[in-house]
Structure 1
Amino acid sequence: MHRRTLLSAALPAALAAPALLSAPARGQSASQGVTRAQTLRVVPETLTTILDPHFTTSFTARDFSYLVFDTLFAMDDQWRPQPQMVDSFERSADGLSWRFTLRDGLAFHDGAAVTSEDVVASLRRWAARDALGGLLLRATTTLEPVDARSFRLVLARPFGLVLEALAKPGAMVPMIMPKRLAETPASQPITTPVGSGPYRFVAEEYRPGDRIVLARNTAYRPREGAPVWASGGKVARFERVELIAMPDVSTQVSALTTGEVDYLERVPADVLPVLERNRQIRVQVVSPFGYQGILRFNHRLPPFDNPKVRRAVMLAVNQADYLPGVAGRPEFGRECRSFYGCGTPYETTAGMPAAADLEAAKKLLAESGADLSRPVVILHPADAPGIAALGLVTQDLLTKLGFKVDLQSMDLNTFFGRRARPEGWNVFHTTNTVPDMQTPLQNVYLNGAGPGPSGFAGWPEEAEVEKLRGAFAAAATEDERKKLAEAIHARAAEAGFYMPLGQFVTPSAWRADLTGVLTGPAMFLWNIGR
């Protein structure tokens, strides 16, 4: 790795670059009467070009969507669902019938009132794409409006995670949009987002791949109470938020140092000393639960349609080889072989290889009869450092196992499109927030429904896992859920659903004059002031 050397050489030359990059935005702010002090400039890890909260598991799309859209419920820091757009709700004694009433005065950015018809259409669209949402909808017989502000959900069978599903903080989040947008086919992303959240999307200033501009929604009515994670009062203290694409790390550091930008979402460990010495900058881990690295196989194409081949690769994985590239510092990473993440209520390693064993992996691979002459295609998003580092390690690992490897580099948004197709790839890598993986229903990568409306391209079709996940959803006690969670984990691991690559946290950095920066499993940009 030569990143630190390159950074030190590039920093002086880069100092002038941010001013050039941000000059157009400064002119736009002035023309709208919004000053620099009233503008929050944020550099996300990558800038999403998908503006649809129901279309992708990308957390960059999720974080953008949290600004524009709102949710019926939201999680607090004790993992308790709290009402957000919902004012009140009633549940029958048997837990099968639910009635929800919306807060009065909710309105979309186009001025239209939020109605129960919008909510029902949004939930149906979300459930067509989301694993947990799909399980909830399949357990539902009735989801319909009662009147303009109320809707009813009636279950055909017990489902113990109704509120948890509606409050889930990870992609895909059940965010509410107008019915006219929610009726867009789930296979087609919406391109002009209209929500009811604290900020509105400024379409005329959108520059795909370069900049997303949001303006404060003056009609937004925050809930009472302090903001805790995605729950509570979402107060928009800035008139304008700019999400800016800035893939070069040295440019990011320089822009934050000079005040051209205010917030960097993810800071590589090798540049931390530069920022930690600067009293005008604060560095902090805002998501203490962190992320899990993931190596995902295409189960529909050779060679990984063979479970022995998948298990051979899993057996060869040494997480210690992956963690330095994503964690940077030893204190930011830990080995973890649990699909649910480590430190979570259902943590287990049932069915997983106990440790890396390259020679045993080679032996198992030979027994599989796999054709090693066919190139294995790895989708490689080169502009997403946190994912790209994983791919380089796997390239080396597969080569050691005897595979021919075709590492295909692309930008992140092309990557999202490619991985959604059933053909043209064998392996990809990603990261997911650990809180989004802590149960068999929340972990989207434990979906055993196969390809199609309820699953993902290249994903396994495992009826036993789906049966067990359904039982987990219906379980009445925590002891029962823990037993089922372990059984699901063992079966999915034995089938080689995917391989965890370790658990890690990454720090964020922001200008010290910012106040009210929230912690949590996503980048929450409300409540921040200057």
Structure 2
Amino acid sequence: MHRRSLLAATSLLAAPALAPGLARAQGASRAGTLRVVPETLTTILDPHFTTSFTTRDFSYLVYDTLLAVNDKWEPTLQMAERWEVSPDGMEYRFTLREGLLFHDNTPVTGEDCAASLRRWGQRDALGSVMLRATETLDAPDARTVRIKLKQPFGLVLQALSKPGAMVPMIMPKRLAETPPNRPVTEPIGSGPYRFVAAEYRPGDRIVLVRHEGYRPRAEPSVWASGAKRPTFDRVELIAMPDVSSQVSALSTGEVDYLERLPADVLPLLRRNREVKVQVVSPFGYQGILRFNHLLPPFNDVRVRRAVMMAVDQADYLPGVAGLPEYARECRSMLGCGTPYETTAGMPPKPDMEGAKRLLRESGVDLSRPVVIIHPADAPGIAALGLVTQDLLTKLGFTVDLQSMDLNTFFGRRARPEGWNVFHTTATVPDMQTPLQNSYMEAAGAPNGFAGWPKDEQVQADRAAFAATSSEAERKQLAEKIQARAAEQGFYMPLGQFVAASAWRAELNDVPMGPAMFLWNIRRGR
């Protein structure tokens, strides 16, 4: 991991670390401004365009959803006032709350919601399965959204309340009609904060101000559900890739919240009574090693399986978790501690000699460079790539590690040419079913997710998982799907870990949950 030493961090505490983006905003009320340093600052402002959790966290401030999930994984009302399901389970109607307004002061209508869900469904793994089961997705009137199914789909409510990227956020119809292969660049939602285009500095800062027309729900806030009160006049999301600068800025009060920190700086922050350190998401993240199934050498399942056999999660976890108590080895694509946890199909333990033997049997050309696209400015991902670089070298591959920034990385991985391996981390709640886990989608190119595995059996079993209402059958199907996906080398989980966030001790009511939620926070002792 690209970390700075404790000594370097400590040396910065004696001097101000004012970032350029902060200096430009000094005219704003400091008490009324929440300054947040995400792990990386997204330049993709479209909630339907990427699985990046930095885009997801930005989107939760700007947009809202028909339904939301609480900490018991129960779908709850959000923009919707109520829902009705037909006796045969084939039609769902959602009635919007009155008075919902977009940031351009236009009312939220059923047509806006239907158009947004159609766009989301063309991009999201779970959403695409729902759309394929849908006959009609429309708006019978201004406050109603209707989903009429043509075949059974037992996860409509779960799909519309999913908390992870891509979240089914609602935007005006005119924006939702943007072709799904082109990102929306005008972020207008109906959420608690409004994007300020005049102050946007791509790669430097994103500024949001309170949406005065927002109507919070009355229920308590739990994860993404309930009241999302915009308690600050202004939220600034600030790029600050250097960890030492982050620590210094938080310690001196120039910023309020750091999203994700390497473990080696936590002892310093824990000694500071002005700072609170806490794990916000108890489910944490899954590390991912993803193969490009379209290009040699990983178009050969034997080569994919050989690399999976050689992986030792114990080599990966220290770089992303730091502390032993923050890490656990986990070979379940569906995450450990989730209802469908299974190790079916996975290599039971690292076997370097077995991996080399399988590579020899495959006849792979080891002199051909294997390109790893490597987002060097995202420490939690970059640490994984460095371990794989060493692993592939030990297996005999020629490795080309191509470093770039995170936003370039997202663009590169979306194209099938020019790379062989990428790494990422995904929040475990996003991975917990074969439909939510984008990396288990098996449609191939061009419609599948980056990496593009193609497998008709997996697709058929995912459809059966979607259609059944039997939990016992879902568990059987989940195990069968993982077994096949693992045997075909869709990707290799690199373990499961949590990460700590840190914020100024004067902040109260900081939300917990599977994303960085920034509503309801109050400043004051």
Q: TM-score, structure 1 length as denominator? A: 0.97
Task: Give 1:485's aligned amino acid.
Answer: A
8 Å contact kept, 1:17–1:251: no
Question: In structure 1, what is the equivalent of residue 438 of structure 2?
Answer: 444
Partner secondary structure for residue 27 of structure 1: coil
2:241 pairs with one of 239, 247, 252 = 247
8 Å contact kept, 1:323–1:504: yes
8 Å contact kept, 1:339–1:489: yes
Question: In structure 2, what is the equivalent of residue 497 of structure 1?
Answer: 490
Task: Give 1:83's aligned amino acid.
Answer: L
Q: 1:98 Cα deviation (Å)? A: 1.1
Q: 1:152 Cα deviation (Å)? A: 1.3
Question: In structure 2, what is the equivalent of residue 465 of structure 1?
Answer: 458
Task: Give 2:292's aligned amino acid.
Answer: N
Question: In structure 1, what is the equivalent of residue 514 of structure 2?
Answer: 521
Aligned residues: 523
8 Å contact kept, 1:298–1:426: yes
Deviations 1:331-389 (A, max 9, x none): 00000000011011100000000000000000011101111111000000000000000
Question: In structure 2, what is the equivalent of residue 32 of structure 1?
Answer: none
8 Å contact kept, 1:26–1:36: no
Q: 1:151 Cα deviation (Å)? A: 1.9
Partner secondary structure for residue 133 of structure 1: helix
Question: In structure 2, what is the equivalent of residue 477 of structure 1?
Answer: 470
Question: In structure 1, what is the equivalent of residue 207 of structure 2?
Answer: 213
Task: Give 1:259's aligned amino acid.
Answer: G
2:421 pairs with one of 408, 415, 427 = 427
Q: Identity, % of aligned pairs?
A: 72
Structure 2 portions without partners, runs of 5+ = none
Q: 1:26 Cα deviation (Å)? A: 3.3
Q: 1:157 Cα deviation (Å)? A: 1.1
2:50 counterpart of 1:19 = no
8 Å contact kept, 1:196–1:220: yes
Alignment of 1:4-83 (within 5 A): 5=5, 7-9=6-8, 11-13=10-12, 15-29=14-28, 35-83=29-77
Partner secondary structure for residue 141 of structure 2: coil
Question: In structure 2, what is the equivalent of residue 287 of structure 1?
Answer: 281
* CA–CA distance in structure 1, aligned partners of residues 249 and 161 of structure 2: 35
Question: In structure 1, what is the equivalent of residue 120 of structure 2?
Answer: 126
Q: CA RMSD in A?
A: 1.1
Q: 1:458 Cα deviation (Å)? A: 3.1
Q: 1:191 Cα deviation (Å)? A: 1.0
* CA–CA distance in structure 2, aligned partners of residues 36 and 205 of structure 1: 17
Partner secondary structure for residue 243 of structure 1: strand
Task: Give 1:480's aligned amino acid.
Answer: E
Deviations 1:143-199 (A, max 9, x none): 111001112111111111000000000000000000010011111111120000000
8 Å contact kept, 2:2–2:382: no
* CA–CA distance in structure 2, aligned partners of residues 162 and 49 of structure 1: 30
* CA–CA distance in structure 2, aligned partners of residues 89 and 302 of structure 1: 49
Alignment of 1:84-95 (within 5 A): 84-95=78-89
Alignment of 1:3-402 (within 5 A): 3=3, 5=5, 7-9=6-8, 11-13=10-12, 15-29=14-28, 35-402=29-396
* CA–CA distance in structure 1, aligned partners of residues 21 and 138 of structure 2: 47
Q: 1:516 Cα deviation (Å)? A: 0.6
Deviations 1:388-421 (A, max 9, x none): 0000000000000000000000000000000000
8 Å contact kept, 1:450–1:456: yes
* CA–CA distance in structure 2, aligned partners of residues 86 and 434 of structure 1: 26
* CA–CA distance in structure 2, aligned partners of residues 23 and 308 of structure 1: 51
* CA–CA distance in structure 2, aligned partners of residues 491 and 2 of structure 1: 35
Partner secondary structure for residue 385 of structure 2: helix
Deviations 1:77-100 (A, max 9, x none): 000010100111111111001111
8 Å contact kept, 2:320–2:383: yes
* CA–CA distance in structure 1, aligned partners of residues 429 and 9 of structure 2: 37
2:488 counterpart of 1:488 = no
8 Å contact kept, 1:436–1:442: yes
Structure 1 portions without partners, runs of 5+ = 30-34
* CA–CA distance in structure 1, aligned partners of residues 45 and 22 of structure 2: 25
Question: Residues 233 and 23 of structure 1: is their aligned pair in 2 closer, same or farther, counting only changes over 3 Å?
Answer: closer
Task: Give 2:129's aligned amino acid.
Answer: L
* CA–CA distance in structure 2, aligned partners of residues 358 and 412 of structure 1: 31
* CA–CA distance in structure 2, aligned partners of residues 100 and 110 of structure 1: 23
* CA–CA distance in structure 2, aligned partners of residues 290 and 163 of structure 1: 24
Partner secondary structure for residue 95 of structure 2: strand
